[in-house]
Amino acid sequence: MSSQKKILFLGSGYVAGPCFRVLLTRPENVITVACRHIQTAQNLCNGHGNTRAISLDVSNQQALEEQVSQHDLVISLIPYTLHAKVIQAAIKYKKHVVTTSYISPAMQELHQQAVDAGITVFNEVGVDPGIDHLYAIKMITQVHNEGGKVVGFYSYCGGLPAPEDSNNPLGYKFSWSSRGVLLALRNDAKYWKDGKIEETPGSRLMDLAKPIYIYPAFAFEGYPNRDSTPYTKRYNIPECRDLIRGTLRYQGFPKFVKALVGLGFLSDEPVEYLSAKSTPIAWNQVLQKVTGASSTNEQELIAAIIKKSAIPQEDQSRIISGFRWLGFFSDTKVHLKENLLDTLCATLEEKMQYEENERDMVMLQHRFEIENKDGSHETRTSTGLWFGVPGGESAMARTVGVPCGITTQLILDGKIKEKGVLAPMTLELCQPIIEALEKEGITMVEAVI
C-alpha cells in the first residue's frame, strides 16, 4: 500500500511558497495546486517535483467536492468567506482541512459535523493569528501551573517594512491588498480595561494609538485590533482584568490616518465625480471637493485640510508634507474607482510597493502582567522579530506559510489527533507546532522584566 499523502492546495497567494517548501521536504507528499486561473497554479508548481496544477472554481460545489474527495487533506488559502464551503466538502468525504484564518461563525457551526466525520479542521495557524496564540498559551499555562494569575495581557503585532525601507510618510508598504489594510482602520475596537469591556467606534480608533516600547531602536505606536474580549475565554484567563490585542505601526502612522479619516478618505460610499463614466479629475480638484476649499490653490487647500481634519499644530507640516508626497496638491489625474477609499487605494498601491531588494519585517510581542502564587507581581514578555530576505521569502510569507505547512504535516503524521473545528488554544495542540517551528528558526524569546 502506498504511503503517499495527497494534499489539495486551494489558492496560491504570497504565503504559499514557504508552506510548499516545508511540505516538499517529505518525498511522500504530493501536492495539487488549484486556482481559478491555471497559470497562477503552474507558476507556484514551477520547478517543484511531486506537484501538479489544475484550474478550479471553488464556487462550483461539484467540482470542489470532486477534488476534495481525491486528497487526504485540504489547505485552504482562499478568502475566509469560502472556507465553510470547503469544510462542508471535507466533512462529506472525511478529509482534513488547514486554514490560517480566524474561525468564523459559519466555520464554528460545522464543529460537531467535523467531529462526527472524524476529521481535523485546524485554523488560525499563521502569525497573527497563529504564532501569537502558541506563545500566549505556552506562557499562560506555565503561569497557571506555578499557581499564578495573568491579570493583564497586551499583545501587539505588525507586518511592516524593515526600518531602512520605511521611507514614506506612512512608514508602511503593501504586501497585500491596500483595501484590506484601510478597511481594518475602520473597525470598532472592544477590549478589557479594569475588568470592564470598553468599546470605541472605528471613526475614533486612531485616538487610542499610543507608543509601544519593545526595543529602543524602534518607534512603534499601537492601537486595538477589533474585538479582544473573547480572549479571556479563549486563552482561559478569566482572572485577566486588562486585555488588548493590537496592531503595531511606526510612529506617525495613526495621526496621518486620522487626517485621512477626517477628510472622508476611508469612505466607500459612491461619489458621482469618481464614477468610471465621469470626466477625468485631478487630485487637487478631489481635495477641493472633500475640503470645501474655494479653489485648488495649494495654500487654500492646506488651510482647508487643517481646519476640516483638526490637525494639531505640531503635526501639520509632517502630515501636509505627506499629502504632497501622495500627490494630493497636484494636477495628476486620479484613478476613477467610484468612491474615495478605492481611489485612494489605487494611488497608495502605486506609491507604496516594496521595491526590488527591499525587505519587510514582522514584530510581535506579548506582555503578561502576572500575580504570582505568593502575591508578588512581575511582568513577562514573549517577543518575536523576523526579517524578510531581499529577493527571497518575505517575513510575512514565512511566518504565515511555515506554521501552516508544519501543522499540515503534524496532522498527516498523526501527531495532532484532535477532531473538530480547532484553533491552537491548548498546550497539547501548541507544543508540537512550537517545537517544529523552532527547528525552522521561528521562535519567540521569553523574558522577565
Residues designated catalytic = 128
Furthest C-alpha separation in the chain = 79
Place of cell 464551503: 85
Nearest one of 66, 120, 125, 68 to 96, comparing CA atoms: 120
Element (H, E) at 317: helix 313-326
Ramachandran area for residue 101 (φ above 0: left; ψ -120 to 50: alpha; else beta): beta
From residue 194, give the alpha-carbon distance in Å to each of 136, 151, 207, 237, 239.
20, 10, 19, 14, 11
Query: Could you please report the per-residue DSSP string of 379-427?
Result: EEEEEEEEE--TTS--HHHHHHHHHHHHHHHHHHTTS----EEE-S-SH
> Within 10 A of 262 (CB to CB), how many other CB atoms are there?
20
SS (H, E, C) 132-145: HHHHHHHHHHHHHH
Strand duo 120-122 + 96-99: pairing: parallel
Ramachandran area for residue 366 (φ above 0: left; ψ -120 to 50: alpha; else beta): beta
* CB-based contact 100:400 (threshold 8 Å): yes
| Bridge partners, 189 (sequence order) | 200
| Distance spanning both ends of the chain, measured CA to CA | 55
Place of cell 476611508: 266
